[in-house]
Amino acid sequence: MAKHASLFAYAGLMHTSIQRLKVDDTDQALQLETRVVAFPWTRAVWEHSLQKDWAIGVRHDGHLAAVAVFSLVADEVTLLNIAVAREYQGQGLARRLLSHGLEYFAARGGRECFLEVRESNRAAKRLYRKFGFEKVGQRRNYYPSEEGSEDACVMACDIQAALAQNLV
């Protein structure tokens, strides 16, 4: 029965729209991220990003199922955060949000997208490589961790090349 419920949820998620998030979504974004990462953004960071950056999300049954936050400076896009609720992971929501963001910024002059990802986050790095992201650097002791700190893998992608190769 649970397997069928999951299939129905998946089918429903594929027909949900991606929405622009606002500062009113702070509580839901914070709750979502707190459930999926050990060291989430603070309320103040979420409020700032929802006011100043470009944040999008997918809702299911009135709750955020996934969220992504991007910024644009000149022609450089940065993926600041992406999180998917555990019950919706593996259903393509991160891929949809990343694709939507890259297409949005390509249409607004974005040429390159940067991001940092935990070295240990293999699933995220695999997703980013599918979009043409490549490792361009490393930030030592960038993320807090249970052991103290963890390095970040800095990745970048040429947005126009990714679009041309149908990677987005």
From the candidates 116, 119, 143, 150, which is the catalytic residue?
116
From the candidates 33, 88, 128, 150, which is the catalytic residue?
128
Name which of 161, 162, 160, 140 is nearest 152 in CA terms. Answer: 140
- From residue 84, give the alpha-carbon distance in Å to each of 9, 99, 121, 165: 14, 15, 14, 26
Instruction: Walk across the sheet containing 18-20 and list its strands.
Output: 18-20, 54-60, 63-73, 76-84, 112-118, 148-158, 134-145
33 is an active site residue: no
Contact 115, 124 (CB under 8 A): no
133 phi and psi, to 5 degrees?
-70, 140
143 is an active site residue: no
Residue 76 gets the label, from left (phi > 0), alpha (psi -120 to 50) or beta, of beta
Name the residues annotated as catalytic. 116, 128
